[in-house]
Structure 1
Amino acid sequence: MKTKRRAPRARLAAVGVATTCALFVAGCGAANEGGGGDAAEGSGVSGTIAGAGASSQQAAMQSWIAGFGEANTGATVNYDPVGSGGGRTQFIEGGVQFAGSDAYLEDEQLTQARERCGGSVIEIPNYVSPIAIVFKLDGVQELNLAPATIAGIFKGEIKTWNDPKIAADNPGVQLPASPVTPVHRSDESGTTENLTDFLNKAAPDVWTDEADGNWPVQGGEAAQGTSGVVGAVNAGNGTIGYADASQAGELGKANVKLGETNVAPTAEAAAKILEESQRVEGQGDTSFAYELNRTATGGAYPVVLVSYLMACPTYPDQAQADVTKAFLNYVVSDAGQQAAAQAAGSAPLSETLRGQITPVIDRIAAGS
């Protein structure tokens, strides 16, 4: 069953294209250290395109822009990390040529994107990353947490670290009687939406709220953005939150207890989620949106963020079509995925999935 989410708060195109160059001009130059060695995809194209969207992709996007630019010196790619909701809005309104989003298009937005693109819209997963359950608890270096325990913590129902539910997940570990302080995002976030989707599907008896980019539960501590959550958890003791694993720093990262197996938030475990998930029905043959299997077994890490690139199959300008096609091909190429893995700790796409995605990208062309 498809997950419903609230309509994103408007972050309109006024935020948009005029600021993209300013925001990522530095990225285009400074990120050269992250460039993929083989940027031959679409080598020699020229023109300028702009994108906007998920900040989760920011470090990876800098590496893609740098690597692509090495082989395409006449091409300029700008990206404004305004957030998933803002990126989708700008893309639908025609303000940018592509968007990055931590959630696939649904309902009214899918209809609007199809209208903008002339009938169908391209959605491809390009950035897969584990969301770590981050914690700071003096004297505890490793923590295992079952989905229902995580749900109880963020619901505010588990109030102390020596609660029997946490103790049952960690036999033999000396847990203090100190308070648990859960930290969540204060802003609308694809990371929040993916965490709440996991909680709803893996622990439905405890977490009865549907997936939502806006934190649905009262209480706890709120912080702005990934850096705010990491900072708040790091500043306390007995704190627990959630963040892209690549940005967790020195914080503890809990293993998710699935049956008798404790799965760590590694890139390798995150990558397995797509192998155990199904494509969303009704999105069209140019969409590779996935309904993630949050209860997957076989070593897949279930608290994972899959971020997408959205583009049109046709553009009114030949140069925009050429650069968009070439750039997307580089992003999903082995070189592009390895560059993102080095820059952002993301999980590279499989060869099988790449082989399915590339023919859709190759259909991008100029047209009315």
Structure 2
Amino acid sequence: MNVRKNKLVSLAALGLAGGLALSACGGGSGETDGGDGGNGGGSASDGGGAAGVDYASLTGNLAGSGASSAQAAQTAWTESFMGMVQAEGGDIQVTYDATGSGTGREQFLSGQVKFAGTDAALDEEELASSTEVCNGEQAFDLPVYISPIAVVFNLEGVDNLNLTPEALAGIFAGDITTWNDPAIADENPDVDLPDQDIVPVHRSDDSGTTENFTDYLSQVASDAWTHGPIETWPIEGGQSGDGTSGLISTVEGGNGTIGYADASQAGNLGVASIQVGEEFVDYTPEAAAKAVEVSPRAEGREENDIVMELDRTTTEEGVYPIVLVSYLALCGSYGDRATADAVKAYASYIVSEDGQQTAAENAGSAPLTPALSEDAQASIDGITAG
């Protein structure tokens, strides 16, 4: 079992944009080569890259890997960014391999990729070791993708389902095993629940989505879920899927199955409403955004390392607390100017208004507020080159 030391991600002081639009790259590795840092260039405010970077000078390959939850957003970001660079005369290939959060961080910290996407921020040990591949400087995290985690299910004849936190924790702990168990049936009086085995489905890989989901369970139903927030599933047996797509496929392929996944990947599966206070709340980007707004920024981090602590126990109306925040892990310094410029330009696009709107339209995520984008841009601007 891989128990990560840091408590989960969140983002509150981040604040989120009010008009949350709803509307979806391959892998690889490589290093950026060629191109000299130039003058001019755009800024986050106009949808361009880092100030002081000439798009026309960006060439070579920039590889990242990590969280599969943000795959749709990363696909949209890489395609849009490369189109912008090409329009300015540059020629850069940006790739993102959706390997899962754990593998993404491992590849980043071993120097295989230049950035990582992760649904769980780098912990103290990872931050300390990052200096070995970050030109002597420490890595840092930027929140770039905010999305609800949907509790998806596939149960013949059932389209709507209410679940209390205790029932949800009991299902995944293996203590509630049939769909007509009173813990479920009592909250669904109008639903004909069958006397059928529940088949919980978990992620088989090291997953930040798993860590976010189990962090929620451990905060709201610690008596039922005793394993704490974990990235690697702690219970032997059961059905599983590799990555978000693997989990969704496993749930789709069964009957009586239930799992957890980034809401953008829920597809045609049933999605449970979760009890918060006295109401059952459906997932929406707005409800996820509200969960983030009521949560504080994590303490004990460097100023450029933007990590939050989600308050999963809030009972505020309209909040959906099973939320993931996917981070971009970047080096504080890169070994050459071309790589640093490419990373800064790409990261600046992601946190810009245009980049966040692109993710909202293609992956249904909740955009960062201008204030958070400004904080993230300041961290990006601090990246240096050796």
Please report the TM-score for the alignment, with normalisation by the length of structure 1.
0.85
Identity of aligned residues (%): 50
Q: Residue deviations 1:237-270, cap 9 Å, x none?
A: 2221112211111110001111212111212211
C-alpha separation between the residues in 1 aligned to 2:338 and 2:128?
A: 26
C-alpha separation between the residues in 2 aligned to 1:139 and 1:81?
A: 33
Aligned-pair distance for 1:39?
4.2
2:58 matched residue in structure 1: 46
1:286 matched residue in structure 2: 304
Q: In the alignment, is residue 347 of structure 1 matched against residue 366 of structure 2?
A: yes
C-alpha separation between the residues in 1 aligned to 2:246 and 2:96?
A: 22
Whether the aligned pair in 1 keeps the contact of 2:47 and 2:353 (CA below 8 Å) is no
Aligned-pair distance for 1:355?
2.4
**Runs (4+) off by over 4 Å:** none
Asked which structure has the greater RCO (Cα within 8 Å, sep 6+), the reply is 2
Q: Which one of 189, 210, 218 corresponds to residue 236 of structure 2?
A: 218
Q: Which one of 72, 75, 85 corresponds to residue 85 of structure 2?
A: 72
Aligned residues: 340
Whether the aligned pair in 2 keeps the contact of 1:41 and 1:329 (CA below 8 Å) is yes
C-alpha separation between the residues in 2 aligned to 1:18 and 1:294?
A: 33
C-alpha separation between the residues in 1 aligned to 2:111 and 2:245?
A: 30
Equivalent runs, 1:128-139 vs 2, <5 Å: 128-139=146-157
Q: Residue deviations 1:241-300, cap 9 Å, x none?
A: 112211111110001111212111212211223212222222211111122211133322
2:332 matched residue in structure 1: 313
Q: Residue deviations 1:336-356, cap 9 Å, x none?
A: 111112222222112232122
2:167 matched residue in structure 1: 149
Whether the aligned pair in 2 keeps the contact of 1:183 and 1:232 (CA below 8 Å) is yes
Aligned-pair distance for 1:18?
9.3
1:191 matched residue in structure 2: 209
2:72 matched residue in structure 1: 59
Q: In the alignment, is residue 19 of structure 1 matched against residue 28 of structure 2?
A: yes
1:233 matched residue in structure 2: 251
Q: Residue deviations 1:104-143, cap 9 Å, x none?
A: 1113211111453334322101111211111122222111
- SS at 1:171 equivalent: coil
1:31 matched residue in structure 2: none
Whether the aligned pair in 2 keeps the contact of 1:133 and 1:242 (CA below 8 Å) is yes
Equivalent runs, 1:151-300 vs 2, <5 Å: 151-298=169-316, 299-300=318-319
1:29 matched residue in structure 2: none
2:37 matched residue in structure 1: none
Q: Residue deviations 1:144-168, cap 9 Å, x none?
A: 1111110011112112222111123
- SS at 2:299 equivalent: coil
Q: Which one of 106, 127, 135 corresponds to residue 89 of structure 1?
A: 106
2:125 matched residue in structure 1: 108
C-alpha separation between the residues in 1 aligned to 2:245 and 2:252?
A: 10
C-alpha separation between the residues in 2 aligned to 1:126 and 1:18?
A: 19
Aligned-pair distance for 1:81?
2.3
Aligned-pair distance for 1:191?
1.6
2:116 matched residue in structure 1: 99
Larger fraction in helix: 1
Whether the aligned pair in 2 keeps the contact of 1:46 and 1:76 (CA below 8 Å) is no
- SS at 1:169 equivalent: coil
Aligned AA for 2:379? V
Aligned-pair distance for 1:88?
1.4
2:4 matched residue in structure 1: 5
C-alpha separation between the residues in 2 aligned to 1:53 and 1:82?
A: 5
- SS at 2:230 equivalent: coil
Aligned AA for 2:257? T
Aligned alpha-carbon RMSD (Å): 2.3
Whether the aligned pair in 2 keeps the contact of 1:6 and 1:212 (CA below 8 Å) is no
- SS at 1:274 equivalent: helix
- SS at 2:328 equivalent: strand
Q: Residue deviations 1:25-51, cap 9 Å, x none?
A: xxxxxxxxxxxxx74334625133222
C-alpha separation between the residues in 1 aligned to 2:233 and 2:107?
A: 23
Whether the aligned pair in 2 keeps the contact of 1:188 and 1:213 (CA below 8 Å) is yes
